[in-house]
Structure 1
Amino acid sequence: MNLKELKAVEIGKRVLEEEKKAIGDLISAIDENFEKAVQMILNTEGKVIVTGMGKSGHIGQKIAATLASTGTPAFFLHPAEAIHGDLGMISKGDIVLAISNSGETPELLAIIPTIKRWGYRVISITNNPNSTLAKESDVHLYLNVKKEACPLNLAPTSSSTSTLALGDALAVALLELRGFTAEDFARFHPGGSLGKKLMKVSEIMHTGEELPLVKPDTPLKETVIVMSEKGFGAALVVENKNHLSGIITDGDLRRFIKKGGSIDKSKTEDAMTKKPKAVREDMLVIEALEIMERYNITVLPVIKEDKPIGLVHMHDILKSGVI
């Protein structure tokens, strides 16, 4: 690297170190007010209305989105729009989360008196515990940022990072205390990669008449026909009231023939794999994929009480978009 490239790397590392230190200072500032804010939100029947100007507003939009996607109803309200009618978006039981590094943002201070007069509670995030916004709030969360990562100590850098981290801390605390589950998360993320990673096996498995079922004493040549007709390159072997006793795949057939076995003269049990790997219908697709990769297999039976109720092929997982 040339001197300019080296200087850029040094600057980048310095900025990250400054922001790392700011997060450390924020951790030390977390106190009973954080607990009060969390409990206030947990106990409300309304929403969290996040508001802020400039960079604080951008961070506030992300905080509102994180809260909403993790079980706490929330949306972002632009303070400049609020004073021109959008205050009507706030309703009974709502809590306002106001963000301002200085605590003296004019647009925020213009709406706080009205919000308080209407009886709505306010949680504020600022870097000045003696600011007007902090004093007007029911609960104040202190950022404790000593210095911005910007060499001029002007551009919101460490302060915006700390605010974002504090918003994440609030969202995760609320998530855990609400008992928010992966299933809940999936309901709020039906699209995109997040939703797909939370997809259940039951959503992609083949069932009913699609299942290639044979018995241990089925002539192997008949099983080969079933495997070909169903198109999975495998058949599930069942006995004793439909309990799964094995699986036979194209790979099993090749290995059987290589050892001198005869398709015309053998039964399915002669070539099948006993006690095959299987999954439950409520298992995540991504977990089923991990099993396939670990054991180098492409087909998995889906069982319930040891009976096959479905089948998942690697092609189904690829089509699902999980990977």
Structure 2
Amino acid sequence: MNDIQAPADILASAHRTLGIEIAALQALDQRLDGDFGRAVTLIMQCAGRVVVTGLGKSGHIARKIAATLASTGTPALFMHGAEAVHGDLGMLTAQDLVLALSHSGAGQELLTILSVAKRMGVPIIAMTGNPQSELARNADLHLNTHVTQEACPLNLAPTASTTAMLALGDAVAVACLEARGFSAEDFALSHPGGTLGRRLLTRVRDIMRQGAALPVVAAGTSITDALTEMSAKGMGMAIVVDAQRHPVGIFTDGDLRRLIERHGDIRPLTVENGMSAHPRSVGPATLAIEAATLMDAGRLNQMLVIDRDGLLLGALHMHDLLAAKVI
């Protein structure tokens, strides 16, 4: 069994690998030309889907590029090069575009896909490391991912070449994203189950407390009765409203402590003696994350929700935002 390398040698190996891959990306950056812009334009004009295909390590990269395109506003799917020639080509339609990845550009399966796509009139963009390959020469457009060496010391394992393919695929996806004017809200719509989706899709109305869950008291209510309502509803406050249900103040646990410090015996007092007038509020359509930002900036644990006429609709507690995983 070989001896374990010294830590310095292991670190040197990592630096060498990263150096080779960085150099490959720098060369790729310098090599980009008008074909890149034409490829993005062709993708933007596609009425169907971008069908990304490849084999082996290029196939793994193709799958990731398809996922990136799809999540950033460009309809895309992955088609395995080998499975394609055994039936999966049936997923290809005349409205689609093929993005074929192959380092050598000589894989027979991809050449078969190219032949079928041409017969269907489907545009083909090839991404290869060999501009003279059959795939590159017969595609509508070619994106050159040539590398002078792999990071593998044997110069065999796809490393720098797959890094170049992945980075170029990201560049294509981002260029399409920018051309579409794809926004963070659009991204959230395709990621509704993730943290970003919750932050950008959850509105105050989705998580606010309302109806019988609200701790509401009328102006003139005694402090003791207000405390009963506060304890029953568990929001650490009572919302003081007028006869038309316009909020005129809130009475919080903090207000109670300050009132006791000033007066001692609070039994003769009403909520007006200790409430905070002009409570902060938001509308029901406000993003929950925006409400959380306002509450954090104001060091508030609660915030009211009102309609356009200033009528009480609901209330938020910081715990509600935590429970909804908005923050």
Shared fold by TM > 0.5?
yes
Cα deviation, residue 140, structure 1? 1.6
**Letter in structure 1 aligned against 2:44:** L
- Shift in alpha-carbon separation, 1:63–1:304, aligned structure 2, 3 A: farther
Label 1:205 to 1:134 Cα distance change in 2 as closer, same or farther (>3 A): same
Q: 2:127 touches 2:142 (CA, 8 Å); kept in 1?
A: yes
Structure 1's 22 and 206: CA in aligned 2 closer, same or farther, altered over 3 A? Answer: farther
Are the equivalent residues in 1 in contact too, given 2:24–2:160 (CA < 8 A)? Answer: yes
User: 1:69 corresponds to which residue?
Assistant: 71
Alignment partner of 1:271 is 2:280? no
1:134-283 alignment runs, 5 A limit: 134-200=136-202, 201-239=204-242, 242-260=245-263, 262-283=265-286
User: Cα offset for 1:94?
Assistant: 0.3
Does the alignment pair 1:310 with 2:314? Answer: yes
Q: Distance in 1 between matches of 2:265 and 2:30?
A: 73
Q: Which amino acid aligns with 1:319?
A: A
Gaps of 5+ in 2: none
Q: Equivalents in 1 of 2:264, 2:164: separation in Å?
A: 68
**Distance of 1:126 and 1:231 partners within structure 2:** 63
Pairwise CA distance, 1:257: 1.8
Q: Which residue of 1 aligns with 2:28?
A: 26
What is the percent sequence identity of the aligned residues? Answer: 48
Over residues 193-238 of structure 1, what are the superposed CA-to-partner deviations in whole Å (9 max), with x where a residue is unaligned?
Answer: 4433434133222223333333554433332222222221123344
**Bigger Cα displacement from structure 2, 207-216 vs 154-163:** 207-216
Task: Give 1 or 2 for the bigger CA radius of gyration.
Answer: 2
In the alignment, structure 1 residue 53 sits paired with structure 2 residue 58: no
Would you say how many aligned residue pairs link Structure 1 and Structure 2?
322
Q: Higher mean Cα deviation, 156-165 or 214-223?
A: 214-223
Amino acid paired to 2:259: F
| Contact 1:29/1:144, CA 8 A, preserved across alignment | no
Letter in 2 for 1:230: K
Query: How many Å separate the matches in 1 of 2:184 and 2:205?
Result: 15
C-alpha distance in 1, partners of 2:94/2:200? 34
Shift of 1:307: 4.4
What residue identity is the alignment partner of 2:206? E
In the alignment, the residues of structure 2 paired with residue 10 and residue 304 of structure 1 have an alpha-carbon distance, to the nearest angstrom, of 63
Structure 1: where are the runs of 5+ without partners?
A: none
Please give the alpha-carbon distance, in whole angstroms, between the structure 2 residues aligned to 1:319 and 1:307. Answer: 26
Q: Give, in angstroms, the shift of residue 313 of structure 1.
A: 1.9
Separation in 2 of the partners of 1:238 and 1:23? 64
TM-score by length of 2: 0.86
Matched AA of 2:212: E
Deviation at 1:293, TM superposition (A): 4.1
TM-score of the two chains, using structure 1 as the length reference: 0.87
Picking from 290, 297, 302, the partner of 1:299 is 302
2:100 to 98, 110, 116: 98
2:288 corresponds to: 285
Q: State which drifts further: 117-126 or 266-275.
A: 266-275
Q: For the residues of structure 2 that align with 1:225 and 1:194, how far apart are their CA atoms?
A: 39
2:325 equivalent in structure 1 = 321
Secondary structure class of the residue paired with 1:44: coil
1:111 aligned counterpart, secondary structure = helix
Aligned partners of 2:20, 2:123: CA distance in 1, in Å?
A: 34
After TM superposition, the structure 1 = structure 2 runs for residues 80-91 of structure 1, keeping only pairs within 5 Å, are 80-91=82-93
RMSD, aligned CA:
2.7
Alpha-carbon distance in 2 for matches of 1:253, 1:242: 23
User: Matches of 1:98 and 1:178 in 2, distance apart?
Assistant: 23
Distance 1:176 1:162 in 2: 21
